[in-house]
Amino acid sequence: MAKMVCLANSYKGGGQRCIAGIDPDARTWIRPVPDTKNKAVTSTMRLIDGKEPQILDILEIPLEDFGPDEGCQPENRLLKAGKWKKLGRITPKDLLKYCEDNSVILHNHQEYVLPEYFITLHKKKWRSLQLIHSPNVSFKLDDYKPNQWRVVFQYGKGRTLELKLTDPIISNRLRNNEKISNDCMLTVSLATSWSPQGSNQPKRCYKMIASIVEL
């Protein structure tokens, strides 16, 4: 069993989700993944007494000590059979101590990382999850995808980055015109390499905002 503070329960299409969090004792990231092609976590796997795991929940999950890194995700650990349990919750202020250096967001200052980059980097330096605090966060609709939101945030020494939002709770609140704080903690996640079907674009590992915790 592994214990983690849930910091992502984000969209992955077809009712499936990407789950991730931090081991509160070791302060290391965990991304539970099943042994399936798309590595998405189904509702049958993740629901606890019929309810979705919530951001800031402390979860106990049956996991192996290893998992497929998919070429860029060293935090992946394979799910084992068994029920997930909720042990409790932490507060947003409790989460602040887990925020990381934000001078660089997952290897560079762009919205993606080329998969070839990881070939040149020692595996001990790979990472695909990062929790940062930004006091200057705003939201905008995607210019090309209806109802898809993007997050614009400042980090480091005045740098700005704009990334896709995959947090279902915050997305629904934005669609309902609810006010979201500008002062937030962001879970940034790096997806496996991908390029649009039928395009000539090279494959890229795109960054996204998997969850937002307001302060």
d(C-alpha 25, C-alpha 126), whole Å: 21
The full length of the chain comes to 215
Token representation of residue 144: 């090309």
Assigned CATH class of 94-214: mainly beta
Note the pLDDT of residue 141.
96
Note the pLDDT of residue 30.
98
Note the pLDDT of residue 71.
96
Note the pLDDT of residue 15.
74
Q: Kindly report, residue by residue over 128-139, the tens digit of the pLDDT.
A: 999 999 999 999
Note the pLDDT of residue 144.
87
d(C-alpha 199, C-alpha 185), whole Å: 34
Q: 6-30 as b/e, with b when 16 or more CB fall inside 10 Å?
A: bbbbbbbeeebbbbbbbebeeeebb
Note the pLDDT of residue 146.
82
Note the pLDDT of residue 8.
98
Q: Per-residue pLDDT tens, the chain, 215 aa: give them.
A: 999 999 999 988 777 899 999 999 999 999 999 998 889 999 999 999 999 999 999 999 999 999 999 999 999 999 999 999 999 999 999 999 999 999 999 999 999 999 999 999 999 999 999 999 999 999 999 998 888 999 999 999 999 999 999 999 999 999 999 999 999 999 999 999 988 777 788 999 999 999 999 99
β 29-33/76-78 pair status: parallel
d(C-alpha 24, C-alpha 59), whole Å: 10
**Strand order across the beta sheet in which 85-89 lies:** 76-78, 29-33, 17-22, 2-11, 57-61, 85-89
Q: Which residues pair with 172 in a beta bridge?
A: none
